[in-house]
Structure 1
Amino acid sequence: MNDEGLRLEGLKADRDRYVSLAFCWADLLFELDRQFAVLFAAGATSAFFGRSGDALVGTSFRDLVAPADVPMLGQIMRQIAKTGRSQDNVIRMIGPQGNLIWVSLAAYCLDPVQGHFFVGLRRSRPSEKADRLSRPEPGREGLYDSGSFAELAADRLKKIQSAGEQAHVTLLSIPTYKDLADRLTSRDSATLASSVSDFLKANSVGGDSAAKVGDGQFSILHAATTRIETVVGQIEALTRRVDPTGKGAAVESATLTMDAADISEADLSRGLLYALTKFREADGSGLSIADLAANMSSLVEEAVTEVSRFRSVVSQASFYVALQPIIQIHTGDIHHYEALCRFNAKPGESPFKTITFAEETGLIHDFDLAMARKVIEWLGHYPRNNDKVRVAVNVSGFSIGRPAYIDSLMWLLKDNAWTRGKLMFEITESARMSDLQSANNFIQALRSRGYHVCLDDFGAGAASFQYLSVLDVDVVKLDGSAVKNAQRAPKGRAFLSALTELCRRMHVETIAEMVDTEDTLLFCRECGCSYVQGFLFGKPSPDIADFSPLPQGGLFRRGGTRSSL
């Protein structure tokens, strides 16, 4: 090639670089070959890396990226090779002092087969990353909860492995965390929580792929090259630093290796959530984290299989409604029935295990909606002008946090407006409601449409009073164990009476559950409860005729005043 040809080639290269710089709005511009070696670097290279652009030529771009984010870089470059461009990626680079610098990365490739990569970098911040993630933001300590982490990790694992990179999920546990916490001041506890959070995020893919699973229990998505023993040692050092005795606490770890190639992202997410739930529940059960990890892959596979089976049950509505009456405590009148689920494949068996699985794998909102449809179908067998039969359908606290569930339910009610006055809603697993104001908005949306709302499990914990102060409901159901404990405790009668009086003053009626004996019925009546529910009046049945006449109906006096619930 003559001098003119060389000049034109140079101009073409300069043009390409200029176009890429303009496109990428960057502080820095790199040209990389197909192996990610730096061919050209321009911009604020000294400020970012402490080296000139010429000094960076020949360096592997991977070596400039934070080790934890290398798998993500591989996934990004794989995307560029397929589509020609990528933008709005937030990763971390290694600064001149070994510090990590958050950057936004945009890149393109003119020739997906043989062309070079043009990469632009601009200073960013972690919050920009959170803004671009369509996921809940990390919790108070800067770490995701189990559900959000499972979604994030599944998404990244699929993309990273499809790009030929490797990343793993590791579980970390501090078995003696409670003992350590007892030795710390509130300030030291906050310092430890913040330090562990920052350290885990710094070593995670993308700088945010870490979760708090439980007290002293964590999970992290990290590059396969990460030395977990170093991570464990650093966390142990953090515990010694804040412990006034200098003893600190030992940290156990277990790494999960899984091939995500043949699993859908949704199933992988639910499998991970199921595994994380088992990890949390293993605390104090005598099951070591090593034992748990040894079976973790099979747990994920088991979850995927069960998810598929449960989806089939929901889609085919392979379950039926069993009814249990809620009875006015003085008159014995049946005010309404609670709709309980029974599965066709397991007639007579408690659905507790299956429902718990649905909650653990994030499927409960699908089931709650299917159950609402089933109850509406059941109510449809009665004349629409018949208001004598009313049924309460359960809504899990998990579901209330799902916009898709709320939208679908509201459309279902709009299409079946005739259910007003016949259908009620009972919120279960209220402890799972992380945003009480949003939960109250959902409750008021139901009430404004003419549907009464009951709050289940009231009195089972101190948080119940917070719920009652924030959530405006029509009735609360007193937890059965709380009723039994009150019946046994010396001051139990005073406690339960005060509870029902508080509710009465707030114009909220009360249902006492697990009323299985005449003594419990009399106790609840003396304590001022409005309604009762329990095996004393028959076990749940799909046949409403089993409650006419009401079993043990002779225990009530007739002619009392009907409640306005």
Structure 2
Amino acid sequence: MSFQSRLLGLAFAAADVLVEVDGDTKVTLALGAGVTAGADPGRLWSGKRFTDILTATSRQPVAKALHALQSGGRTSELQIFVTGNDGMVRRARFRAFSLPELAPAVSCSLTWDGEAFSEAEAPPKDMLTSEGLVDHTRQIMADDPTADMSFSFVEVSGLDRNNAEHSRAEAQIQSVLQASSVDGGSAAQLSEKRFAVIRLTGDKTDLAAEIRQAALDEGVELMVRSTEATLAGGTSPGIALRALRMALEDCLKDDGIEAAGSGFSERLKATMREADAFNTVVETRDFSLHYQPIVDLKSGAVHHFEALSRFRSGGPAATIKMAEEMALIQAFDLAVAEKALAQMQRSGFGLIKVAINVSGASLASDSYIQGLLGLTASKPDMRKRLMVEVTETAALADLEAADRRLKALRKTGIHICLDDFGVGSATYDYLSRLPLDTVKIDGSFVQNVCETERAEKLIGHLVSLCTDLKIATVAEMIETEAQAAKLRTMGVTYGQGWLFGKATAEPVLRLPSASGPVAARRQGEVVGWG
């Protein structure tokens, strides 16, 4: 078998159609399966411009991608529609590569996505949501971290969605926005009249004028405003995405279009300053930990403490969210572990056990696990007094990998807890697939346990499920004796909240006195994980 045959076999293993276009984007070679069964792309496409075999909404994104392609470079994957010679259309995934030895020719691949359908039935691409646009930007940056990127923020005023002509105009506007985007599917609808689009840097098309004309073609006259922002290649994805989120938030304000565009570079600079300041906080350990007691609801004894971060300025929740968005959280999570372990080794603290928080984002690689085990390597017995509490502020993208990493911790004696149980959409998936010792029931349920039957039943079901799985439960945000008594009778294992004590700079073993049946038992005993 020849080497060329092997290469061709490998190529067809990755794509359905292989296409070569010349410097004018005319098809010089096409091999593979056509739009419909029996159609020969080589015979039907050769000599045509590649964009001429695409639907109208797919032409501009492909043309822009081919025009911007550098020698030795590869395009991001584009979702496109390819036309047949019989009025049929087929969705495909498109990529192009510029091999220097073949220049100016460009090698392209098409992978069919589904069967062919009538062109009249071609579905328009759905508009992205605000968060979908952020995710799309993340993927584009991952595909080519050095590429510049532009954003257009658009406001369209005057559409009446109860009017047939206006409805058609709206559909045409969405088609124009998608066609102007970098890959034909990177336009987002942020509100009823505001949009954002990822575009190729250097695209001089007057987007506002195209939208106005598309509406006029349907007999509708609209007022359209737009503004632009540019993101330089090489910008840290975390910083770029946080700045983009803030720009999208700006876009929803009264003067949002102008603020989103003109203020984007300032947002980037401000975000970079935030990142530098946070990195300094982590490097210098310029934050503190406060310890809140978690008690055994049956005995009233302190079971362990949760280490909660405190900063000189800014609330912990906002700071942690910022660090997660900018991919700075892992170093901070390890710094928290280091501080907590140092406290646990101080004279007079006996066998106190501590729960430390770890963001789901920190479990995206092995580095956090290696770091934590490294911190406890010289005193492995400390691991038996440590609990890792996985917060749901950042979702666990790869549960299989997270399961493997958490099992590595659990194998050494470190206990695993899932925070905010019952709130996140993936909670039950986490419960079934992660090696958990404890789950913490979110305070939004706990606060209403004595007021609403719904909250009581929800907690009851959660506790029953965890009991069956031999997983302990913690109810947070307990503020009254009535709540504590109710949760104890429902079978909740542990309690946390102001009733038992606020977070303090030093762990307080002797809890404040309180009325009720558990008060006499609420002494400073420290019990095992049990």
Establish whether TM, by shorter chain, passes 0.5: yes
Residue 551 (structure 1) aligned with residue 530 (structure 2): no
CA distance in 2, matches of 1:439, 1:218: 34
Q: Give the one of 135, 147, 151 matched to 1:169.
A: 151
- Matched to 2:295, the amino acid is I
**1:23-102 equivalent positions in 2, closer than 5 A:** 28=20, 30=22, 48=45, 50=47, 67-68=60-61, 76-77=69-70, 80=71, 86=72, 102=94
User: Alpha-carbon deviations, 1:46-97, whole Å to 9, x = none?
Assistant: 8656359xxxxxxxxxxxx9644666556643xx4xxxxx255568899999
Secondary structure, aligned partner of 1:519: helix
Find the counterpart in structure 2 of residue 204 from structure 1.
181
| Alpha-carbon contact 2:416-2:437 (below 8 Å) kept | yes
Secondary structure, aligned partner of 1:393: strand
Quick check: 321-330 or 468-477, which moved more? 468-477
Secondary structure, aligned partner of 1:516: coil
Structure 2 residues without counterparts, runs of 5 or longer: 1-10, 13-17, 31-41, 50-57, 114-125, 162-169
- Matched to 1:453, the amino acid is I
Residue 221 (structure 1) aligned with residue 199 (structure 2): yes
Residue 121 (structure 1) aligned with residue 106 (structure 2): yes
Residue 338 (structure 1) aligned with residue 306 (structure 2): yes
| Alpha-carbon contact 2:353-2:386 (below 8 Å) kept | yes
| Alpha-carbon contact 2:141-2:147 (below 8 Å) kept | no
User: Alpha-carbon deviations, 1:336-374, whole Å to 9, x = none?
Assistant: 11111112x33xx63222112112333223322332233
CA distance in 1, matches of 2:328, 2:336: 13
CA distance in 2, matches of 1:334, 1:49: 78
Per the alignment, do residues 466 and 521 of structure 1 end up closer, same or farther by CA in structure 2, a change over 3 Å counting?
Answer: same
* Cα offset, 1:499, TM superposition: 2.8
CA distance in 1, matches of 2:213, 2:293: 57
- Matched to 1:228, the amino acid is L
CA distance in 2, matches of 1:236, 1:333: 70
**What root-mean-square deviation, in Å, do the aligned CA atoms of Structure 1 and Structure 2 show?**
5.2
Per the alignment, do residues 252 and 51 of structure 1 end up closer, same or farther by CA in structure 2, a change over 3 Å counting?
Answer: closer
Quick check: 415-424 or 475-484, which moved more? 415-424
CA distance in 2, matches of 1:213, 1:365: 31
User: Alpha-carbon deviations, 1:195-219, whole Å to 9, x = none?
Assistant: 9999877643356766799999765
Find the counterpart in structure 2 of residue 105 from structure 1.
97
CA distance in 1, matches of 2:377, 2:174: 45
Query: Higher helix fraction: Structure 1 or Structure 2?
Result: 1
| Alpha-carbon contact 2:65-2:75 (below 8 Å) kept | no
**1:127-526 equivalent positions in 2, closer than 5 A:** 145=132, 148-154=135-141, 159-161=146-148, 167-171=149-153, 203-205=180-182, 219-223=197-201, 224-229=203-208, 255-258=227-230, 260=232, 264-266=234-236, 269-278=237-246, 288=256, 291-343=259-311, 345-346=312-313, 350-381=315-346, 388-402=351-365, 404-406=367-369, 408-409=371-372, 412=375, 417-429=380-392, 432-460=395-423, 463-526=426-489
* Cα offset, 1:230, TM superposition: 7.4
Secondary structure, aligned partner of 2:342: helix
CA distance in 2, matches of 1:407, 1:252: 54
| Alpha-carbon contact 1:324-1:541 (below 8 Å) kept | yes
| Alpha-carbon contact 1:430-1:456 (below 8 Å) kept | no
Structure 1 residues without counterparts, runs of 5 or longer: 1-23, 53-64, 81-85, 110-116, 129-139, 162-166, 181-191, 241-246
| Alpha-carbon contact 1:395-1:427 (below 8 Å) kept | yes
CA distance in 1, matches of 2:407, 2:422: 22
| Alpha-carbon contact 2:366-2:405 (below 8 Å) kept | no
User: Alpha-carbon deviations, 1:89-111, whole Å to 9, x = none?
Assistant: 568899999999945333337xx
| Alpha-carbon contact 2:93-2:111 (below 8 Å) kept | no
CA distance in 2, matches of 1:124, 1:416: 56
Find the counterpart in structure 2 of residue 187 from structure 1.
none
CA distance in 2, matches of 1:453, 1:553: 31
* Cα offset, 1:530, TM superposition: 1.1
Per the alignment, do residues 43 and 512 of structure 1 end up closer, same or farther by CA in structure 2, a change over 3 Å counting?
Answer: closer
CA distance in 1, matches of 2:147, 2:474: 52
Quick check: 423-432 or 399-408, which moved more? 399-408
Per the alignment, do residues 563 and 51 of structure 1 end up closer, same or farther by CA in structure 2, a change over 3 Å counting?
Answer: closer
User: Alpha-carbon deviations, 1:279-308, whole Å to 9, x = none?
Assistant: 666798878555544543332222121112
User: Alpha-carbon deviations, 1:401-455, whole Å to 9, x = none?
Assistant: 3455455445555566343212111111266234444433333332223211111
TM-score with structure 1 setting the length: 0.65
User: Alpha-carbon deviations, 1:256-288, whole Å to 9, x = none?
Assistant: 413638xx521xx23331134336667988785
Q: Give the one of 513, 530, 539 matched to 2:502.
A: 539
CA distance in 1, matches of 2:355, 2:412: 15
Per the alignment, do residues 154 and 390 of structure 1 end up closer, same or farther by CA in structure 2, a change over 3 Å counting?
Answer: same
